[in-house]
Structure 1
């Protein structure tokens, strides 16, 4: 299974929704809280130039986007294949 990394902020409803979808599917993920900026926020911006909102989700080296993008992959039936690599 591909590694899933999600960049989040405290109080972000979209972040909660994305994490809930992953948890319901039993997908482990690494979460980086970028609420206060710092090194992880810089990392997020280098991986997804121009991304100013959270969550920002990565599956393997692929930038998936945000919560709506993750949900769209699930609805289309493409998320499982992407997770498997």
Structure 2
């Protein structure tokens, strides 16, 4: 079982799509998506939680991973799968 994944996104975001593709390839079957383009208050929430205004902003369990590039770097370092499994 994987950790819950929360991702702040917008409708037309190529980085969001790439991040979702990588997570899917690593076995994630459910992503809680928060569309900040539809709910500006949630963008404010995202910015308070992360200090960032760009999407995607990805959380795995309680860990803020960052954006798409951060997710790919975590995967390249061999740390994504342990984080998803709750081992990190």
TM over 0.5: yes
Report the equivalent of 2:85: 84
Among 22, 44, 47, which residue is 1:45 paired with? Answer: 47
Q: Which runs of 4 or more aligned residues in structure 1 lie more than 6 Å from their structure 2 counterparts after TM superposition?
A: none
Report the equivalent of 1:34: 36
Residues 8 and 55, structure 2, Cα contact 8 Å, conserved in 1: yes
1:37 positional shift: 4.0
Q: How does 1:1-85 map to 2 (within 5 A)?
A: 1-27=2-28, 28-49=30-51, 51-85=52-86
Aligned equivalents of 2:5, 2:38: Cα separation in 1: 22
**Structure 2, unaligned runs of 5 or more:** none
Matched pairs, number: 84
**Structure 1, unaligned runs of 5 or more:** none
Question: What is the TM-score normalised by the length of structure 1?
Answer: 0.88
